[in-house]
Structure 1
Amino acid sequence: MSHVNEEVFPLLRTRLRTRALAAAATLVLGTGLYAGLGPLVSGASSHREAPLTAADPQIDGTDLYAFVSPDRPSTVTLVSNWIPFQEPAGGPNFYAWATGVNYDIKIDNDGDAKADLIYRWVFHNHYRSADTFLYNTGTVTSLTDADLNFYQTYDLYRINVDTGRSATLLNDAIAAPSNVGAASMPNYNADLFGAAVKQFGGSANPSYSWVGQADDPFFLDLRVFDLLYGADLKEVGDDTLAGFNVSAFALQVPKDALAAKGDAEANPTIGIWTTASRRSMRVEASGSQDFTAKFVQVSRLGMPLVNEVVVPVGAKDYFNSSKPSGDAVYLPKVQDPELPHLLNAVYGTEVPDSDPNTPGIQRADLISVFLTGVEGLNMPANVKPSEMLRLNMSIAPCTTACSPFGVIGGDNAGFPNGRRLSDDIIDVSLRVVLGVLLPSHQAIANTISDGVQVNDVTFNTA
């Protein structure tokens, strides 16, 4: 079990899928990292969203979460999920992070659409024996067990882009392995999952890191891609991604560590996005391949569903390589997205327009949600329009009677002010796309739903 003080960093349970049991081993993770919301469980906010990432799942960022930690309101919890649709029985190699890749969470704390801080994870592979095909050679009871044949370690860095200084926060920390099953890992939650929580920083207000495999927390009915729920809303209500895992890293850090000038009270709003970068390849005259060239960004994720359903297929790989500072090119697709027109064609719903007196479709509401932040909620001063997840750290976390619909449900601690694991992203997004934020909107914008309001595994608090 982790040696973290449970009074400061209480543990909660989450579930990881295995073939043998519907919910398999109960996993333990600090509420500081998952803020009382429980398991990491799978969906498709940005799963296989572009041609390149669909062919290279190790660099496919699936979801990003950011919220003020309910158990420690002086901190923020960041969760980034990768490698989608992990079948629990996917051995003998199971699911590993890519080596030679920079996995980053980037923070813009002054609204200029440029990263001011970067948290970076770099992974390393370790085999205790190369003379076996087995992931583990016996029962595994600890992260350092000799029977855990394959394991990964990671280095965690904090890079201050403004000053150019880099600090190593963790070195050779061991990631929780894939859950092979009850025979191989009989006490997975205590021996492996919980033990992967690492503390760093000062003792007065410490930070925590966790890396491992978990049940993916995004929930939805993926039959949205079957002519928008069967063309008559008959294909709803089934969490079609239940049972799949993801690989995740979670970070809990003090608010001041993220804020401009180290002052979260004066500068509470931050923008967050993730990227993955691989080294480019050079082919020598001999035909050999050299992977020591510069790093090239190959994945990007901020707000959910943007590259999934807003960016057209011809621009998806480009989006994954782009920076928020260049997002003006996507303004037409946010101003007049494809989805309202598809809903109109299939269901006869109106195509919303925030300013009918101006030629063309105008969607000031979507621009505020996806590109600038909502005024009075999470819009930075002097913001440069750009796509990222924005969080106002001064808004207190919700601890009781929280709404899965976040802001449109009267709960300003939820999406699109950051994103919690329990926020119902699909229903919120459908309603926002149909104009629920506009003063005058069609009735269906208040009720449209994919019929999946909660994750298939309960988010626990203890």
Structure 2
Amino acid sequence: MKRLILMCLALLCTAASASDHRESPAIQADPHADLTDFYAFLNPRDSSKLVLVMAVNPFQATVQEGAYHFTPDARYRFNIDNNGDAIADRVIDIRFGAYDTATHKQSYTARINNDISVTGLVTEGTRITREPNPPIITDGPQGIRTFAGTRDDPFFIDTVGVQRTFAGTGRFTATDALAGYNVSAIVIELPLSMVTAPRGTKLGLWASVDRKDNSRSQQAEIEQPATGERGEKFHQIQRLGNPAVKVIFIPDELKDLYNATRPHEKVAMWTNVLVNTLRAPQFSLKESEVQRLAGLFAPDMLHIDLSKPIKFPNGRWLDDDSIDIIFTSNLDTDLPILYRRGELDGVNHNDVPFSNDFPYLAPPHQAP
């Protein structure tokens, strides 16, 4: 029992930074490129459509709505591997124009597989009205739909309860620490046939953010810079597959390097890092469990097997309680430190309901 409580302490106190919100030293100073969450699921009304969601720019205060924008100096990317080699076979790049201070508008272009382009307008947050601006949804060819703009932060966890429970100064209270905060979200919906291999049913997916060289901060480089369609040189500074892997399992001094590498790069190194972390005495894990978890998270991609039900870790719905799923699969659910039997922190759903309609994330919160 003592070892399991220590395991909870070591893991959950690191998870208290809220999924991947400001999780690495370099990204804390670059919120426009800070990937907070990544989701991949099927349209709940049409299983032939894949939905991809990434969120950046965390902890947006409602009294500052209208002040959060996407940066033109970054390339936001969805990566899809359809043959199991952890290298992207299909990519969706989203680039943003400059924010127009006169019209309060910002445009974006989503380029799918270097072939199809969809151009739309960002849905800006507003303080002027009591209701948020309605989402600007752009319909492209072949059933593609796109959205970019301010939405409610979809992640949910009692981060304050995590800290106080293990510091001995309080307990879990089932309070969502991210309730009331907004993020900048990008949502793409497209036919599965655009990203799957012929007769293929398995996908590996992750999100990434690249900075142009002339705006790049000093940090570890990936092995080769990527070249954009305009001849620009980029370096990757963020990536996200499974939620909270960096936060929980990667030491702080290696997080920036992790963000700068792609899933197929330095796999042996990251596997060793994960194995060494999981073998720590306070974790008290069997070797078979160490190897299973290391194999799940390295290479770090969100996996989807279309022949099976889509629920984390097979894809990730917005309402999947992914942190509970990660921990309760490995911990004794009768531990007295849990909020209640089978629950980690008592926060089992988002503070506001999601939608069954595109763009699926809840509308942004408004200033009171």
Relative to the length of structure 2, the TM-score reads 0.80
What does residue 303 of structure 1 align with? 242
Say if 2:181 is the partner of 1:244: yes
Could you say what secondary structure the match of 2:247 adopts? helix
Quickly say closer, same or farther: Cα 1:95–1:111, change in 2 above 3 A: same
What does residue 12 of structure 2 align with? none
Q: CA deviation at 1:354?
A: 4.1
8 A Cα contact 1:66 1:420, kept in partner: yes
Question: Aligned partners of 2:99 and 2:351: how far apart in 1?
Answer: 34
Task: Decide which moves more: 327-336 or 57-66.
Answer: 327-336
Q: CA deviation at 1:126?
A: 4.1
Question: Aligned partners of 1:125 and 1:339: how far apart in 2?
Answer: 48
Quickly say closer, same or farther: Cα 1:339–1:83, change in 2 above 3 A: farther
Could you say what secondary structure the match of 1:295 adopts? strand
What does residue 269 of structure 2 align with? 329
Say if 2:138 is the partner of 1:198: yes
Match of 2:123 among 176, 185, 188: 176
Quickly say closer, same or farther: Cα 1:224–1:366, change in 2 above 3 A: farther
Match of 1:86 among 55, 60, 65: 60
Say if 2:300 is the partner of 1:387: yes
Quickly say closer, same or farther: Cα 1:427–1:70, change in 2 above 3 A: same
The one-letter code sitting in structure 1 at the alignment partner of 2:174 is G
What does residue 34 of structure 2 align with? 60
Match of 1:157 among 111, 115, 118: 111
Question: Aligned partners of 2:166 and 2:58: how far apart in 1?
Answer: 22
8 A Cα contact 1:229 1:236, kept in partner: no
What does residue 451 of structure 1 align with? 346
Q: CA deviation at 1:81?
A: 0.8
Question: Aligned partners of 2:273 and 2:164: how far apart in 1?
Answer: 20
The Cα offsets for residues 136-171 of structure 1, whole Å up to 9 and x where unpaired, read as: xxxxxxxxxxxxx31110011123xxxxxx224213
The one-letter code sitting in structure 2 at the alignment partner of 1:180 is R
8 A Cα contact 1:223 1:230, kept in partner: no
Q: CA deviation at 1:233?
A: 6.9
8 A Cα contact 2:333 2:342, kept in partner: no
Q: CA deviation at 1:368?
A: 4.1
Match of 1:167 among 103, 115, 120: 115
8 A Cα contact 2:21 2:58, kept in partner: yes
Which aligned pairs between 1:286-301 and structure 2 lie closer than 5 A? 294-301=233-240
Which aligned pairs between 1:207-356 and structure 2 lie closer than 5 A? 207-223=144-160, 226=163, 229-231=166-168, 234-260=171-197, 263=198, 266-281=199-214, 294-326=233-265, 327-337=267-277, 344=282, 351-355=284-288
The one-letter code sitting in structure 2 at the alignment partner of 1:458 is P
8 A Cα contact 2:50 2:192, kept in partner: yes
Quickly say closer, same or farther: Cα 1:293–1:429, change in 2 above 3 A: same
Could you say what secondary structure the match of 2:28 adopts? helix
Question: Aligned partners of 1:224 and 1:311: how far apart in 2?
Answer: 22
Question: Aligned partners of 2:334 and 2:172: how far apart in 1?
Answer: 21
What are structure 1's unaligned runs of at least 5 residues? 1-42, 130-148, 160-165, 284-291, 345-349, 356-361, 372-385, 396-411, 435-440
8 A Cα contact 1:335 1:364, kept in partner: yes
8 A Cα contact 2:156 2:178, kept in partner: yes
Q: CA deviation at 1:456?
A: 1.1
Question: Aligned partners of 2:164 and 2:172: how far apart in 1?
Answer: 10
Say if 2:127 is the partner of 1:188: no
Quickly say closer, same or farther: Cα 1:425–1:236, change in 2 above 3 A: farther
The one-letter code sitting in structure 2 at the alignment partner of 1:270 is L
The one-letter code sitting in structure 1 at the alignment partner of 2:147 is W
Match of 2:320 among 405, 410, 423: 423
Could you say what secondary structure the match of 1:212 adopts? strand
8 A Cα contact 2:157 2:345, kept in partner: yes
Question: Aligned partners of 2:165 and 2:279: how far apart in 1?
Answer: 10
Quickly say closer, same or farther: Cα 1:449–1:178, change in 2 above 3 A: same
Question: Aligned partners of 2:146 and 2:326: how far apart in 1?
Answer: 30
Quickly say closer, same or farther: Cα 1:220–1:365, change in 2 above 3 A: same
Question: Aligned partners of 1:178 and 1:216: how far apart in 2?
Answer: 13
Q: CA deviation at 1:280?
A: 1.7
The one-letter code sitting in structure 2 at the alignment partner of 1:365 is R
Quickly say closer, same or farther: Cα 1:107–1:293, change in 2 above 3 A: closer
8 A Cα contact 1:179 1:213, kept in partner: no
Quickly say closer, same or farther: Cα 1:293–1:368, change in 2 above 3 A: closer
8 A Cα contact 1:340 1:433, kept in partner: no
Question: Aligned partners of 1:354 and 1:152: how far apart in 2?
Answer: 51
Count residues with an aligned counterpart. Answer: 322
8 A Cα contact 1:336 1:363, kept in partner: no
Question: Aligned partners of 1:271 and 1:169: how far apart in 2?
Answer: 23
Q: CA deviation at 1:200?
A: 1.3
Work out the percentage of aligned pairs sharing the same amino acid: 29
Question: Aligned partners of 1:457 and 1:442: how far apart in 2?
Answer: 27
Question: Aligned partners of 1:424 and 1:369: how far apart in 2?
Answer: 18
Relative to the length of structure 1, the TM-score reads 0.64
Q: CA deviation at 1:228?
A: 5.7
Q: CA deviation at 1:336?
A: 4.4
8 A Cα contact 2:60 2:182, kept in partner: yes
Question: Aligned partners of 1:97 and 1:269: how far apart in 2?
Answer: 31
RMSD over aligned Cα atoms:
2.6
Quickly say closer, same or farther: Cα 1:423–1:232, change in 2 above 3 A: farther
Question: Aligned partners of 2:181 and 2:76: how far apart in 1?
Answer: 22
Question: Aligned partners of 1:181 and 1:174: how far apart in 2?
Answer: 19
Question: Aligned partners of 2:294 and 2:170: how far apart in 1?
Answer: 28
Q: CA deviation at 1:314?
A: 0.5
